[in-house]
Structure 1
Amino acid sequence: MSDNKDLEQLRQEIDSIDTQIHQLINQRAGCAERVAQTKLKEFADNGNADVSKVLFYRPEREAQVLQKVIDRNQGPLDGKTVARIFREIMSACLALEKPMEVAYFGPEGTFTQAATIKHFGQAVVSLPQPSIANVFDQVESGQCHYGVVPVENSTEGMVSHTLDNFMDSPLKICGEVELRIQLHLLANATASSDTITSICAHQQALAQARNWLENNWPGIELVAVASNAEAARMARDDSSIAAVAGDIAAEQYGLMKLASSIEDYANNTTRFLIIGQQDTPPSGSDKTSLIVEVSNKPGALLKLLEPFHTAGVSLTRIDTRPSRRDTWAYVFFIEFEGHQHDEKVSSILSDLSDHSRMLKILGSYPKAVL
C-alpha cells in the first residue's frame, strides 16, 4: 500500500509540473506573437510596405538560445536532448509569427528532409525539390524563404553539385546542420532473400555501405538511382528490389528493415547548408565560407593560406573545383572559424582580395549546435 501511495503522489507531482510547463509554453508563444507585432510595426513606421521583407527567422539568435539551453542544463536529461525539445517549441512559436517555407533536395523521405526538420523543427513547411539547382532557384525567386542542400559527407567528401551552384548564385549561407547517417536495408513485407535480385540507392549511399553489401549480399546487382527515397519507393512497389535508406524513408514508404545500421563507418555524418537571401549577424560561434580563385603559378596556394596561418585562424575545410573561366584552372572553396565582421577575419579577407583573381564570400553563419 505504501508503494502505491508513493507512486500516486509522484504522478500527481508530474501532473502539476506538466501544467506549469504547459502554461509557460503558451506564455512563450504569446511573447513570440508580440515580437512579430513589434517587428511589423517597426517595419511600417520606417515607411516599408512589403511585409514579406520582414525578417522573423534569426539564425544567430536561435543558435544562441539553443547553446544557452545546453550550457545551463544540469540533467538528468542530456543537454542536446533538452535542446531538441526547445527546438520544437521555437519552431512552433516561429510559425505563429510567420510560417516559413523551406525548399530541400527531395523527394520526401531523404536525409535532406530529415536535416530540414532537425534544423527548423516540425512546424516548418518543407517543400521537396527534384534537384539541388531547383532548391537554389526556389530561394532566389522568393518562392521559399530558405533552402537546405547537402554539402559534404564524412566518408565520401564534398557534394560537387552544391559547390557548383554557389559559383553563380547570389544566395548566402546562413546556417549548417550535421546529421548522423544510419543506413538500413529495406524491403516490402512480401520480399525476402529469395525474391530480391537488386539493391537500389543513391550512389553515395551505395558507396557508404559498399563493404557491408559485398560481404552480406555478394552477387546482388547494385543500382544507383536519383535518391534513397526513390529507391524506397521502388522497393515498396517491387519485392525483387531492396533499398538502402534511412528511418524517414522506411516510415514514409512503409518498409521493413532486413538489416539495420549497415553503413561501413559508425560515425558516418553528412553536413547540410541552409541558404537564404540575407547575411547573418555574428552569433559568437561562427564559420565563414568563401570561393577564391588565384593565378595558376607556383606558390599561389601558399600565398592563399598564409594570412590564415599568420592570424591564427583555423581552416575547417578546403576543396577545389574547376574554374569556369580558364582551362585547367581551379577555384578554392574555403571554410574557417570566425565571422566576416570579426576584426581578424576582416583583415584576412582584405588580404585575400588583394592577392586573388576573384573572391566571393558565401556567408558567415552559426556553427551547428545540434
Structure 2
Amino acid sequence: MSHGRIAFQGELGANSHEACTAAFPQMEPVPHATFEDAFEAVKSDDCQLGMIPVENSIAGRVADVHHLLPSSGLKIIGERFKPIHFQMMVNPGVKLEDVRTVSSMAFALGQCRKTIRRLKLKTESVGDTAGAAKMLSEHPDPTKAAISPALAAEIYGLEILARDIEDEHHNTTRFLVMTADKHPSPPPFTEPCITSFTFKVRNLPAALYKAMGGFATNGVNITKLESYMEGDAWAKTFFYAEADGRPEDRGLALAFEELRFFSDKFEILGVYPADPFRTRG
C-alpha cells in the first residue's frame, strides 16, 4: 500500500527512481520531465516529497539544481548517497555479438567508455538513462543496446547482457530529500546533522572572508561552499553552503550571528541527519 508520493526527475527506472525506492519503499515514485516540474509537484502537494540529485563524485554538481534549489521554496529534510551502477540491456533474445550501437545519456556513455571501446560499439546520446531503455523497448532493434540502471530493465522488459560496466565503481550521487513543509520536524538529537543555508554578502571589501571567519573561530566545519549568480546582476553573488551541526549548537549559532552581520540575505534551507555514507572509509 502506498503512503504518499515522491517526485523525481527522469523516466521510470532512472537512478533517481532507484533512490526513491531504496529510501522510501512505502511511497509511490512519480517521474517528471524536468527538475522544475519535480519541484512544482512538491510545492503543489501533488507529491509530498522530492528526491533531487545535487552532485556526483565524478561529474560534480548538477547545474540545474544548483540554481533552482535556493529559490524553490522547499525545505531539505534528508540526504541520500547512492552508488551508481550501469547495466547494458537489450531486447529479449538479442545476443551481444549482434549489438552495434549503444544509447544512453552522455555522462553514462562516458562512464562506460572502456566497455564500449572493448566491444567496438557506436554511441548514441539521449537525454536520460532510463529513457534510453524505454525507447529501446518501444522500438525494438536487434543491433541496439541501452545503458541504464537495473530497474529500467525490469520495468521495460529488457534483458541485461553485461552488469556493472561503469569504469569507476566508486561513482556516487548525492540526493537531497525535499518537502513543502515550512516547519518540518527537527531531526533527533542523537544523530549528527547537516545545516544547509544560503547567503549574500554585503558589498564590502573582504566581506566573504569576514562573513566566514566566525565558522573558523567557533570550530564549525563547512562541508560545502558554492557561489551562484541571481538573474542578470553580476554584482549579486549568492552562496550556498553546508555546515556540520544544528543552528542551535553554540558554535554554529555564533558563526551564523557573525555571518548575518556581513550579509544582506541569509536563509536556512534545512537541518537534516547526515547520511551514514559520509563516514564510510
TM-score (norm 2): 0.87
Q: CA deviation at 1:329?
A: 4.9
What residue identity is the alignment partner of 1:323? E
Q: Identify the residue that residue 6 of structure 2 maps to in structure 1.
A: 102
**CA deviation string 1:7-41 (max 9, x = no partner):** xxxxxxxxxxxxxxxxxxxxxxxxxxxxxxxxxxx
What residue identity is the alignment partner of 1:308? F
- Pairing 1:112–2:16 present: yes
Q: CA deviation at 1:185?
A: 1.7
Contact 2:200 / 2:237 at 8 angstroms: preserved in 1? yes
What residue identity is the alignment partner of 2:154? E
Q: CA deviation at 1:144?
A: 1.4
Contact 1:282 / 1:339 at 8 angstroms: preserved in 2? no
Q: Identify the residue that residue 282 of structure 1 maps to in structure 2.
A: 187
Q: Identify the residue that residue 136 of structure 1 maps to in structure 2.
A: 39
Indicate the structure (1 or 2) with the bigger Cα radius of gyration: 1
* Distance (Å, rounded) in 2 between the aligned partners of 1:256 and 1:248: 11
Q: Identify the residue that residue 99 of structure 2 maps to in structure 1.
A: 196
Q: CA deviation at 1:113?
A: 1.0
Alignment of 1:1-370 (within 5 A): 99-121=3-25, 123-193=26-96, 195-213=98-116, 215-218=117-120, 220-223=122-125, 225-236=126-137, 237-278=140-181, 279-284=184-189, 285-295=192-202, 299-324=206-231, 326-327=233-234, 329-369=236-276
Q: CA deviation at 1:363?
A: 0.8
Contact 1:280 / 1:364 at 8 angstroms: preserved in 2? no
What residue identity is the alignment partner of 1:120? F
Q: CA deviation at 1:256?
A: 2.2
**Percent of pairs identical after alignment?**
30
* Distance (Å, rounded) in 2 between the aligned partners of 1:280 and 1:218: 53
Q: CA deviation at 1:138?
A: 0.8
Question: Structure 1 residues 349, 218: CA separation in 2 closer, same or farther (over 3 Å shift)?
Answer: farther
What residue identity is the alignment partner of 1:282? P
By relative contact order (CA 8 Å, sep 6+), the higher-ranking structure is 2
Question: Structure 1 residues 209, 356: CA separation in 2 closer, same or farther (over 3 Å shift)?
Answer: farther
Structure 2, unaligned runs of 5 or more: none
Question: Structure 1 residues 292, 204: CA separation in 2 closer, same or farther (over 3 Å shift)?
Answer: farther
Structure 1, unaligned runs of 5 or more: 1-91
* Distance (Å, rounded) in 2 between the aligned partners of 1:245 and 1:304: 44
* Paired residue total: 271
* Distance (Å, rounded) in 1 between the aligned partners of 2:4 and 2:206: 46
SS state of the match for residue 327, structure 1?
strand
